Amino acid sequence: MRTAALAFRIALILVITSAVPAIASAQAQPSNTYAITHAKIFTLAGNPIEDGTVVFREGKIIAVGAGIDIPAGAQVKDAKGLQVYPGMFDSITQMGLREIGAVSATVDSTETGSYNPDVIAATAVSPSSEHIPVTRAAGITEVLAVPGSGGFDSGGSNGIIGGQASAIHLAGWVIDEMLIKKSAAMVLRWPEIETQTFDFATFSRKEKPYSEAKQEYDKQVNEITDWLERARHYAQVMEKSSPAKYDRDVKLEALAPVVRRELPVLVFADRAREIRNAVEFCDKQELRMILAGGAEAYKVKDLLRSKGVPVILRPMLTLPPDEDDPYDRLLSQPAELAAAGVKFAIASFDNSFARRLGQNAANAVAHGLPYDEALRAVTIYPAQIFGLGDQIGTIEPGKLANLIVTNGDPLELTTDVKYLFIRGQLTSMENRHLRLYEKYSKRPKAQ
């Protein structure tokens, strides 16, 4: 037992220390140069370019504009009548971590236990998940794989620190080729004051006095505080010489970038009270907070703006939290947040429904969000929120060539993605669904 545990620890340490984002760029890149020509290019970094050209080489954009010279030897895609956009970024998914929700053997998204800062999504992302090409075909070129973020698979786990989320391209033979940023955020599920719980043994609701619920809540918040304070001390001791001694502790080590403000915390909270508590907590602890969920973010929009807390919104296509909320409560929230100056991205919070990302953004537009803001909420905003704004999210020289070529508005239901480039490589649109469609289209008529 002990040996196994030790081996596990060593393995973990190896994984943590050996994998750094730099590896991704060190992988063999295609040397080919591409030029997409005669397209309407929505760079999201300025006005759309009519009859434009975008050129990329070694995975990176080298030029974009009208009347640009095409380098000799470039592969040219004539995109006359088509449009080019940055690929979409779904910033909360369980991509590669969950294949079939109901089958636990295919699910690796949530660890047991409450505090797992050391687990990293990238470790368990299956590059051959069928979800990846299906999602890609919807124009999504990169996602954040987020442990402990939900879905239908968590089986009652009450994790608080869920682990590290990884930003990945939706293409690559092995995880190292997929990585954009191995550790992009630390997941924290903010505790709730739960006066009512559901007991599945008796299938009934259980009531709890407020004081008792508050006590449990305080206990959890104290635990989080304790973890952070230990991590802070640990980080200081490891950095400077100190009479204090620590054995190496991979959990505290994982939290060190959080207390140093190098790694943001992705805090899951939906109700106004929880959001407020979390914002105040992170402020006091001097953490870089990103709010996830935010069903009632509109109620605390001024606080979010003043503290500069960005939000990853759950899908607009979700019923309002309360019976007496207006029917369009979540649909109209993005417009309200945008008007209040709160920065937000829109995410699917799922795998199977990741391809509804554009649909959700479009529904926000239908309920008042300016179109350009919707487009940014699924491209450059999530990139900026997770510190990847210099790599992806717009079409500008120096950025990774994660692009989609479409026959229309990428948020609209009926638009097709014609070509998709990830890290400058033309990437197949083939996927499980298309395969089955083609197979059964060809079934001879039954007798």
Partner 1 sequence: MKGSTGFFIHAKDLRFRNLLFFLCLPLAASAAPPDAPSVIVIRNATILTVSHGNIEHGSILIKDGKIAEVGQSVSAPKDAQVIDAAGQFVIPGIIDCHSHIAAESINEGSVSLSSMVNMAEILNPEDIDIYRDLAGGVTSANILHGSANAIGGQTLVIKLRWGQPAAKLPFEGALPGIKFALGENPKRSNFSVPGQPRRYPATRMGVEETIRGAFSEARDYKKAWDEYNKRIGAGEKNLIAPRHDLRLEPLVEVLEGKRYVHSHCYREDEILMLLRVAKEFGFRVRTFQHVLEGYKVADELAAAGVGASTFSDWWAYKVEAYDAIPYNAALMTQRGVIVSINSDDAEEATHLNQEAAKSMKYGGLSHDEALKMVTLNPAMQLGIDKRVGTIDVGKDADLAIYNRDPLSAYAVVQKTLIDGRIYFDLQRDIAERAEREKEKKALIDKFKKAAEKKPEEKKPDAASQKPGEKKPEEKKPEVKKPEEKPRPPQSGGTDAGSAVTLGGAL
> Which of the residues 298 through 357 are near partner 1 (CB under 8 A)?
314-319, 321-324, 326-328, 348-353, 355-356
Nearer to partner 1, 2 or 445 (CB): 445
Q: In whole angstroms, what is the distance from residue 158 CA to residue 223 CA? A: 14
Q: What Cα–Cα distance (Å) separates residue 360 from each residue in 123, 365, 375, 382?
A: 30, 9, 11, 15
Select from 381, 370, 364, 375 the least CA-distant residue to 406: 375
Nearer to partner 1, 314 or 376 (CB): 314
Q: In whole angstroms, what is the distance from residue 325 CA to residue 120 CA? A: 37
The reply on whether position 152 binds partner 1 by CB under 8 A is yes
What residue type is assigned to position 444 of the chain?
P
State in angstroms the smallest separation of the CB of 409 from partner 1.
9
Among positions 364-393, residues that touch partner 1 (CB under 8 A) are 365-367
The reply on whether position 442 binds partner 1 by CB under 8 A is no
The reply on whether position 131 binds partner 1 by CB under 8 A is yes
State in angstroms the smallest separation of the CB of 257 from partner 1.
23
State in angstroms the smallest separation of the CB of 410 from partner 1.
11
Rg (CA), the chain: 23
The reply on whether position 136 binds partner 1 by CB under 8 A is no
Q: What Cα–Cα distance (Å) separates residue 382 from each residue in 10, 178, 267, 447?
A: 34, 18, 15, 53
Among 101, 370, 389, 397, binds partner 1 (CB under 8 A): 101
State in angstroms the smallest separation of the CB of 97 from partner 1.
12
Nearer to partner 1, 228 or 312 (CB): 312
Spell 352-374 as b/e; 16+ CB within 10 A means b. Answer: bbbbbbbbbbbbbbebebeeebb
What's the token pair of residue 296?
């009632």
State in angstroms the smallest separation of the CB of 48 from partner 1.
19
Among positions 7-46, residues that touch partner 1 (CB under 8 A) are none
Among positions 160-189, residues that touch partner 1 (CB under 8 A) are 189
Among positions 75-94, residues that touch partner 1 (CB under 8 A) are 92
Residues in contact with 423: Cβ distance below 8 Å, sequence separation at least 6, in sequence order: 29, 59, 169, 171, 400, 401, 402
SS3 43: coil
Give the count of residues interacting with partner 1 (CB under 8 A).
82
Among 151, 334, 393, 424, binds partner 1 (CB under 8 A): 151
The reply on whether position 201 binds partner 1 by CB under 8 A is yes
Q: What Cα–Cα distance (Å) separates residue 313 from each residue in 266, 334, 344, 418, 442?
A: 12, 8, 7, 28, 41
Select from 155, 168, 149, 166 the least CA-distant residue to 109: 149
Select the span of 155-163, 246-254, 333-341, 420-428 touching partner 1 (CB under 8 A): 155-163
- Which H, E and C letters describe 320-350, residue by residue? CCCCCCCCCHHHHHHHHHHHCCCCEEECCCC
The reply on whether position 210 binds partner 1 by CB under 8 A is no
Select from 342, 298, 302 the least CA-distant residue to 322: 298
State in angstroms the smallest separation of the CB of 314 from partner 1.
5
Residues in contact with 118: Cβ distance below 8 Å, sequence separation at least 6, in sequence order: 12, 16, 163, 164, 250, 251, 253, 254
Among 96, 148, 264, 382, binds partner 1 (CB under 8 A): 148
State in angstroms the smallest separation of the CB of 438 from partner 1.
9
Q: In whole angstroms, what is the distance from residue 29 CA to residue 298 CA? A: 44
Nearer to partner 1, 241 or 441 (CB): 441
As beta bridge partners, residue 57 has 33, 60
Select from 156, 245, 235 the least CA-distant residue to 200: 156
Nearer to partner 1, 328 or 336 (CB): 328
State in angstroms the smallest separation of the CB of 137 from partner 1.
10
Among 117, 133, 293, 382, binds partner 1 (CB under 8 A): 293
Among positions 407-436, residues that touch partner 1 (CB under 8 A) are 411-416, 432-433, 436
Select the span of 234-242, 248-256, 337-345, 439-447 touching partner 1 (CB under 8 A): 439-447
State in angstroms the smallest separation of the CB of 318 from partner 1.
5
State in angstroms the smallest separation of the CB of 321 from partner 1.
5
Nearer to partner 1, 64 or 369 (CB): 369
The reply on whether position 110 binds partner 1 by CB under 8 A is yes
Among positions 249-278, residues that touch partner 1 (CB under 8 A) are 268-270
State in angstroms the smallest separation of the CB of 190 from partner 1.
8
Burial of 157 (0-12, 13-18, 19+ CB in 10 A): middle
Select from 267, 281, 249 the least CA-distant residue to 165: 267
